Amino acid sequence: MEKYLNESLSPQERAEALTDAMTVEEQASCLRYDSPAIERLGIPAYNWWNEGLHGLARAGTATMLPQAIGLAAMFDADLMYKAGEIVSVEARAKYNQYTAHGDRDIYKGLTIWSPNINIFRDPRWGRGHETYGEDPFLTAECGKAFVRGLQGSGKTLRTAACAKHFAVHSGPEDIRHGFNSVVNSKDLEETYLPAFEELVKAGAEGVMGAYNAVNGEPSCASPFLMEKLRDWGFDGYFVSDCWAVKDFHDYHKITKSPPESAALAIKNGCNVNCGCTYTNLLLALEQGLIDKEDIRRSCVAAMRTRIRLGMFDSHTEFDNIPYSVVSCEEHRKFTLECAERSMVLLKNNGILPLDENKIKTVAVIGPNSNSRICLEGNYNGTADRYVTFLEGIQDRFSGRVIYAEGCHLYKDRLSGLAMANDRLSEAVIAAECSDISILCLGLDSTLEGEEGDTGNEFSSGDKRDLRLPESQRILLHEVMKTGKPVIVVCAAGSSINIETQPDAIIHAWYPGSEGGKALARILFGDVSPSGKLPLTFYESAEKLPIFTDYSMKNRTYRYAENNVLYPFGCGLTYSKVICENLRYSENIAKVQVKNVGNRDTEEVVQLYLKDHGENAVPNHSLCGFKRLSLRAGEEKQVEIPIPEKAFTSVDNEGKRAVFGKSFTLYAGTHQPDVLSEKICGTKCVSTEIML
């Protein structure tokens, strides 16, 4: 038996044996994302590229969870773990069947290139909805749980997670291939790197580099960033973003040819190339730009991951996962639960939940009313059934539902030969004929997403401002003029300023295949909304720093000075939950939580720490959270651990240490700021901590 088949040896030993059995040409071929078979060694072809951001993506039917930003809005690590588990179980089920049929195509492997843990620092960034928001702590907690769910806890990885995009990456999309992110040492350590460190130390098997450079070093060949990975004990494989190594010579202009780019990447620790540049590795070898050990070293890393996934084992514990788990009833039920917990109630003048005894006719109006695309987000799979907002309301409401599309998502007309605003009068009539109007507005992945995505209309997927498209602003204004009650449901993956104020606002994100059912259950009070904003909603993009400025000054809730519309952590329920009697001891916060309202609800208790030392962030930082269920009148004592790292701060040289001696700890269902207290109607409780 070949040594690499000996399952009693370590993955490192097996990978070295397997690599050393190859020729240098064969080793180099294994570093392409579309690695060919090496038949003489019994190594099948393998495509490294697979996606699972919020459900297994791009390879047919799969469970479609809410987009990542919506999952983050749940503020629940346990649910994040389950989400990752569902992705990986379905990936294994499909992998088992695909390989049995000889199908080793793209999007059918076990290396899942998720999660995206970039910091959503600017609301104009089109890919922000792929992330877990703007806060390093929330991002790390969500990311670690998702990684554990993807990978499992056994000897064999169920799938291999990949933390991306390393690092300092959050737009603009249209210049990302040659963009140099200039960032100081404090912001690096304080904001951009912590989540990556946490995920690497939690065992994430993969790390993907970004397109951009960081302080002059392309991310996929950055000595500075690669040294960080070594310091953190990274023991997996590093993969370039797709065609990012090609950017070295095409856009960054730091190399002059593909062989030079391939050499720079592999010598700095990029093991696998998503793209075509590593087809030049042998030419780089011939030109003396690299040596055989450079290729061998990366091949060992790549084979080690494949071995950890059990690809060369006689049997793994996952081989018998049946195809029937794909989009099964249990997974669809979980999708619904996530959608219900992710939607954020931003405003409610008392109109919600709707009283069916007082309403006979409901108008459902707007371009996202009956849209499947607005349920999906990007990096998505295909659900076997979708429930749009319109369908969910129709299924749930026993009275009459009048539907009017109202307008195009962003164009000034729906019919090419018609006049501008051709569906506006229909929408107004529907509103006039109804007791209440539910306007389903917002964006979808054709408007905000990744540069190069098919259909993105504006700024390569980035947003130009924070307003609704003009067609929708006109629609909202005209429906509001009817004087009938209006509820706005906004599907978007980012900060939106509705401007015109309706009676209630629900931010639904891109809520997955069961989004319409979840919305209807919230509207009619079957469940209480309980999502929280994982990012700040701003008043205006014009008041933000320029998009290309990566300084954290006046960005995100930790540094914000003004311009806040709805704060990070904000979100209403149908009840009222208060926090009292906060105590702290030995890194544990204990707080009494009571539902003083008259409805059962879930709520998220949030802990924030204010460091009064000179190196602290200007405001305060999230340091713990816990989701819980409370019946009307019920009271619980909640214990939430606070990591020791929460008491550290970062000086201007990027050194992290405990500099402060005096801290204020806050507990509440929102941030401890005046605007959050005004919106949510409750105050945080606090206690002082001296170290």
The residues carrying an active-site annotation are 241
CA nearest 680: which of 585, 601, 570, 604? 570
Question: Both ends of the chain: CA-CA distance in Å?
Answer: 60
Rounded Cα–Cα distance for residues 97 and 319 (Å)? 10
Helix then strand then coil, % of the chain, to nearest 5: 35, 20, 45
| Residue 677: closest CA among 666, 688, 664, 663 | 666
Q: What is the dihedral of CA 55, 56, 60, 62, to 10 degrees?
A: -50
The side-by-side arrangement of strands in the sheet containing 436-442 is 344-348, 504-507, 486-491, 436-442, 361-365, 400-404
Q: Could you tell me which of 666, 494, 691 has the C-alpha nearest to residue 580?
A: 666
What are the start-end ranges of the H helices in 343-411? 373-376, 389-396
* Rounded-to-integer distance, Cα 281 and Cα 294, Å: 10
Q: Are the C-beta atoms of residues 100 and 323 closer than 8 Å to each other?
A: no
Helix axes of 515-523 and 389-396: crossing angle, nearest 10 degrees: 50
Q: What letters, b where the CB count within 10 A reaches 16 and e where it falls short, cover 187-222?
A: bbbbbbbbbbbbbbebbbbbbbbbbbbbbebbbbbb
How many helices and strands in the chain, by DSSP H and E? 20, 25
Distances (CA, A) of 253 to 169, 216, 257: 19, 11, 9
CA separation, residue 123 to residues 35, 188, 303, 573, 653 (Å): 37, 19, 39, 25, 28
* Partner residues linked to 57 by β-bridges: 51
CB atoms closer than 10 angstroms to residue 450: 17
Give the CA angle between residues 190, 193, 195 to the nearest 5°: 100
Number of neighbouring beta carbons within 10 Å of residue 617: 19
Residue 99: name the closest of 404, 365, 312 by CA.
Answer: 312
Cβ atoms of residues 88 and 158 within 8 Å: yes
Q: Give 536's DSSP letter.
A: P
CA distance 305 to 11: 8
Angle between helices 136-151 and 77-100 (to 10 degrees): 40
Per DSSP, the residues of 464-519 read: SSSBPPHHHHHHHHHHHTT-S-EEEEEE-SS--B--S--SEEEE--S--TTHHHHH
Q: Residue 685 and residue 233: Cα distance in Å, rounded?
A: 39
Asked if omega into 223 is within 30° of 0 (cis), the reply is no
